[in-house]
Structure 1
Amino acid sequence: MSRLRRDPRAERAAGFIAGDGPRPLYDRTRRAAGSGRPRRDPRAEREAQRIGGAARLRYDLSQVGRPRGEAVTAAPRSAPVAEAPKTVIVETPAFLVAVVPDAPGGRLSSHDRQVLGAARVLAGREGAVAVIVEAACEGLGAAGADRVLRLDGAEGYDPAARAARIEAALAGVGARHALFPESLDGGDLARRVAVGLGEALFTNAEVVAAKGLVRPARGRRVEQSLAPPRLATVAPDAVADYAGPPREARALPFEGAPPEPHGSIVSATRIPADPAAVPLSLAEFVVSAGNGLTDLDTFREVVAALHATPGASRVLCDAGLMPRHTQVGASGTVLAATCYFALGISGAPQHLQGIAGCEHVVAVNTDLHAAMIERAGLAVVQDAQAVMPALLRLLAQEAAGATAGEPT
């Protein structure tokens, strides 16, 4: 054999370290004379994996599996840089799919986003989605709009005049399809446009695909399918929102002449409902109290100042501190509110099921790891008893500034 014969005694003597201690010390990192393989030093390897600057011991586990005996130093880590998503631009679309959202208050509702998601399915890669609005609306590009056509809205409530403007816009842009939300306003507008254009309307579509649309019929015992028509309404919670990269939302010029006002409605005024009397299932803004709240009088003042609908957790309702009809959760009322403000609610699974359909959630709780804090889009880690008076003071200052004519 050509391999040298090992001499363990000589290797051990070569690694001896002179010292005054009672026990002999040896250098374990010295290479063996015969094998050529270094001996591992687990303590040195573990120390090399340690990440400094933290109160608790932390180690870089990516260093595990390196060749034995190598004392590897942890490479400095840099914070990952999130790349901004690229905006999708469709220069020359083959056709347009028009969407007429409700857009209450200049913002898209969850139903509007679903209609835009359905329009993106019909547009595919070759087409583009054009949104027709009567006022400034935010978030159109992120929701999937390639073009935006803004019309001049009429003063007051005149659904016939609005339908006439939409008819002129659809004829001007030459949209292949036009989708409306199946809502109170959107459904009424879609039917008026269909009558004005003299075309059929496919209502309450629950399945939207490039090959056709599907809706239930005869008490949901059968399904009706049709190739994508020109006019259709989309049912709520039937189609997923657009989840791709943001689109361009380029302004679409339109030089069509506005139709003559009909003038059939002399006066129309929207009378807002009392938030305290609105059922929880129909409320848009709900403020709820939980077990971490003791001052219910201040809570009622906050609800009144925010013009919200009061809610509560099951614990307060079981204790008789809040009415049973205010209970939020799977065993109470399932919400579909735009905003949900939770004060002192930890977030039981049944309660989280009840607010799954809420678009925005704001939570105030002292527990950083509470389930409600994780669910919230905006969280305040503080005692709700201290937050409520501060919130009332800010609302009073804002009201005083608005009364004096100062900008808020």
Structure 2
Amino acid sequence: MSRQRRDPRAERGIRTVESRARPRLDVARRESPAASGRLRRDPWREWAASLVDETYRKRYDRSQRQMSREDAARFLAARSDIEATAISPGQPALHVVEEPAFLIFAVIEATGGRLSRFDRQVFGAARLLADADAGGGAVVAITTGEIDGLGEAGADRMLALPSANGGQARAAALRHAVETLLPRHVIFAEDGDSADLARRLSVALGDDLMSGVEHLTARQAVRPIRNGAREIGLAPPRLMTIGEDRVKPYAAAPCEARPIDASDFEAGADPAILSSEIIPGDPASLALSETDFVVSAGNGVSDIAAFRELAAAMKGTPGASRVVCDAGLMPRSAQVGASGTVLAADCYFALGISGAPQHLQGIAGCEHVIAVNTDLHAAMIERAGLAIVQDAQLVMPALLALLRERGA
């Protein structure tokens, strides 16, 4: 919108015909008043420039709301340039930072050697700070081993710290890395071991920790206080933990993920801990809200015994639709949906489920959905990233036979 702002009062004055009676207007008169010189605002462009995330629900950076029209145009042009670098399978571009002006640490868990959705959001927060203003920063992924996909997630460097036998030893190794490499920010996930490590590092360094950040820009970090009744905004501190689903994952050109020599960052043993190991829980006994993989049965599954056998063979937690639970074939605790359990699993395998609205609400937070259904136009087929259009009663024995053949 580049046309001049209209002045309705001036236009009315030009068309007014002098009369001793009531005022009259000459609507055929086409003369226009002199332009005021002010350009029309484009509120849609301003809101688009302030949009920071629309993955689950739209989130806006209100500090960008009052930017001028020219600033908004430049902002959107820069964003378009970033989106234009979307990676094509044939010619992948690579984001390389040879001499970083500063470093941003992204501490991730990557349970099982695989990046979770939360890990990718931590990279998104780190990338946001590294690319702010003139950019020039590099994101360093802090891991405990080799992990695939770090470059695509936004890591310019990768530092694999040696595995430690306790939180205290791991915090000591991370403290050594921070004191040696001097990162501008260290970002953790506000979840599990990462949150614990952030607090240990805060005590070890004597630095303040801003936990549970819900809104992050290059100039401000916002977190709730007083049980969510108020918010506090500060300049991004050195140590931060990010709340889940608060920052959009990085989605531009893949980065280099160049490894850093970790020989100088040996993790000392904690004398209070003789040995440590992670014992995975039995998937069949895990709560649906805590598991990462759910195998669910719907009205298209009639052989519940075969379904339970398949869920056990795939090492998944069994779930069910409301129809199956109402029929008494599965316990009420296994019900998935808005009226049952809302999932946050990495993968959801739906067998014979058409996809009622309340059921789709329950799997909205699942990263990957696999569906088996005879109806090509079922809502669950549309939601799924991978679909098998076939009877679930025929697919289950075929999957069991394949798992036995592969020795699963």
Q: What's the secondary structure of 2:170's corresponding residue?
A: helix
Q: 1:148–1:257: structure 2 CA closer, same or farther, 3 Å change rule?
A: closer
How far apart, CA to CA, are the structure 1 residues paired with 2:346 and 2:268?
Answer: 36
Q: Which amino acid is 1:152 matched to?
A: P
**Superposed displacement of residue 299, structure 1:** 0.5
Q: Which amino acid is 2:212 matched to?
A: N
- 1:282 is matched with 290
**Superposed displacement of residue 361, structure 1:** 1.3
**Superposed displacement of residue 82, structure 1:** 6.3
**Superposed displacement of residue 277, structure 1:** 2.3
**For the Cα contact (< 8 Å) 2:104–2:184, is it kept in 1?**
yes
RMSD between aligned residues: 1.8
* TM-score normalised by structure 1 residue count: 0.74
Q: Over residues 97-149 of structure 1, what are the superposed CA-to-partner deviations in whole Å (9 max), with x where a residue is unaligned?
A: 10110110111111111111111111112211110111111111111111111
Q: Which amino acid is 2:341 matched to?
A: T
Q: Which amino acid is 1:111 matched to?
A: F
**For the Cα contact (< 8 Å) 2:173–2:268, is it kept in 1?**
no
- 1:108 is matched with 115
Q: 1:116–1:82: structure 2 CA closer, same or farther, 3 Å change rule?
A: closer
Q: What's the secondary structure of 1:282's corresponding residue?
A: coil
**Superposed displacement of residue 185, structure 1:** 0.3
Aligned partner (choices 197, 206, 226) of residue 214 of structure 2 = 206
1:119 aligns with 2:126: yes
Once the two structures are overlaid, the 10-residue window that deviates more, 260-269 or 121-130, is: 260-269
Q: What's the secondary structure of 1:281's corresponding residue?
A: coil
- 2:93 is matched with 86
Counting only pairs closer than 5 Å after superposition, residues 270-349 of structure 1 correspond to structure 2 as: 270-349=278-357
- 1:97 is matched with 104
How far apart, CA to CA, are the structure 2 residues paired with 1:190 and 1:324?
Answer: 38
**For the Cα contact (< 8 Å) 1:135–1:150, is it kept in 2?**
yes
How far apart, CA to CA, are the structure 1 residues paired with 2:91 and 2:370?
Answer: 26
Q: Which amino acid is 2:220 matched to?
A: G
How far apart, CA to CA, are the structure 1 residues paired with 2:160 and 2:181?
Answer: 12
1:385 aligns with 2:393: yes
**For the Cα contact (< 8 Å) 2:296–2:321, is it kept in 1?**
yes
Once the two structures are overlaid, the 10-residue window that deviates more, 282-291 or 272-281, is: 272-281
Q: Which amino acid is 2:128 matched to?
A: V
Once the two structures are overlaid, the 10-residue window that deviates more, 360-369 or 259-268, is: 259-268
Number of matched pairs: 318
How far apart, CA to CA, are the structure 1 residues paired with 2:255 and 2:268?
Answer: 34
- What stretches of structure 1 of length at least 5 have no aligned partner? 1-80, 403-408
Q: What's the secondary structure of 1:244's corresponding residue?
A: coil
Q: Over residues 358-379 of structure 1, what are the superposed CA-to-partner deviations in whole Å (9 max), with x where a residue is unaligned?
A: 1121111222232222222222
The percent identity for this pair of structures is 58
Q: Over residues 54-87 of structure 1, what are the superposed CA-to-partner deviations in whole Å (9 max), with x where a residue is unaligned?
A: xxxxxxxxxxxxxxxxxxxxxxxxxxx9654422
**Superposed displacement of residue 152, structure 1:** 2.3
- 1:136 is matched with 146
Aligned partner (choices 201, 220, 227) of residue 193 of structure 1 = 201
Q: What's the secondary structure of 2:233's corresponding residue?
A: strand
Q: 1:140–1:353: structure 2 CA closer, same or farther, 3 Å change rule?
A: same
* TM-score normalised by structure 2 residue count: 0.74
How far apart, CA to CA, are the structure 1 residues paired with 2:89 and 2:168?
Answer: 48
**Superposed displacement of residue 327, structure 1:** 1.3
Q: Which amino acid is 1:159 matched to?
A: G
How far apart, CA to CA, are the structure 2 residues paired with 1:351 and 1:83?
Answer: 38
Q: Over residues 218-261 of structure 1, what are the superposed CA-to-partner deviations in whole Å (9 max), with x where a residue is unaligned?
A: 11111122211111111112111112222222223345252432
Q: Which amino acid is 2:270 matched to?
A: H
Q: Which amino acid is 1:128 matched to?
A: A
**For the Cα contact (< 8 Å) 1:172–1:256, is it kept in 2?**
no
**For the Cα contact (< 8 Å) 1:115–1:179, is it kept in 2?**
yes
- What stretches of structure 2 of length at least 5 have no aligned partner? 1-87
How far apart, CA to CA, are the structure 2 residues paired with 1:272 and 1:296?
Answer: 25
Once the two structures are overlaid, the 10-residue window that deviates more, 315-324 or 141-150, is: 315-324
How far apart, CA to CA, are the structure 2 residues paired with 1:361 and 1:297?
Answer: 23
Counting only pairs closer than 5 Å after superposition, residues 5-154 of structure 1 correspond to structure 2 as: 84-124=91-131, 125-154=135-164
1:168 aligns with 2:199: no
Structure showing greater Rg:
1
**Superposed displacement of residue 389, structure 1:** 1.0
- 1:178 is matched with 186
**For the Cα contact (< 8 Å) 1:281–1:334, is it kept in 2?**
yes
1:218 aligns with 2:218: no
How far apart, CA to CA, are the structure 2 residues paired with 1:282 and 1:193?
Answer: 27
Q: Which amino acid is 1:116 matched to?
A: F
